[in-house]
Amino acid sequence: MKTIKEILSWVIPIVAGILIALAIKQFVVTIAKVDGPSMEPNLVNKERMLVWRNSDIKRMSVIVFDAYGEDPSATTKNTDYVKRVIGVPGDTVASKNGNLYVNGKLVKQNFISEYERTQGTGNWDLKTLSKNWSKNVGVTKVPKGQYFVMGDHRSVSNDGRYWGFVPKDKIAGVVKVPFWATDATKRHNVNKLAE
């Protein structure tokens, strides 16, 4: 009996610690990894970041979401994408000559260079983009409960311009600046991520 008590005295704290860690990961914060160059220069390929599950999703928030079922090229569940929220429910979004307009107002994009803003961006609005989407054809505003997202490096980003919106229930959380940020990230003032 004494041996069982000794074993339980160290097993119970370990199990409790694991359960607490799993609960934190599921409901508070998790770690995700960038896959590809679409968020450069602010986040680089293979960089890890903290994702807060219950943060408010605002325009210009960087989010992590499961693209399976939204992007036709994401063919397996739990295919995480990292993108920037450009439009929230009810917004109109348009691009003219590399400038973004949300609800008719110019959006400052100090977090990326002119090259990243203009290359591959073109002139469009939601209605013209949606002609090629499999869902939400002809939409003019971001639908209720959904978000319009783009990568920071527009010429290489596979984002909402090509497949549409991200439903809120697919969003894992909002990216916050990682304490282990790379030198490249620090050079580009990653604090802009949370603005």
Domain range list for the chain: 2-194
Which residues face 175 on adjacent strands?
Answer: 51
Yes or no: say if 175 and 62 are a contact pair by the CB < 8 Å rule.
yes
Yes or no: say if 87 and 93 are a contact pair by the CB < 8 Å rule.
yes
| Amino acid in position 81 | Y
Residues annotated as catalytic are 38, 83
Q: Is the pTM of this model over 0.85?
A: no
Q: pLDDT digit string (tens) for 7-33?
A: 767 777 776 677 666 666 666 678 888
Res 177 pLDDT > 70: no
Name the percent of the chain lying above pLDDT 90: 48
| 2-194 CATH, one of 2.10.109.10, 2.40.128.130, 3.40.50.300, 3.30.450.40 | 2.10.109.10
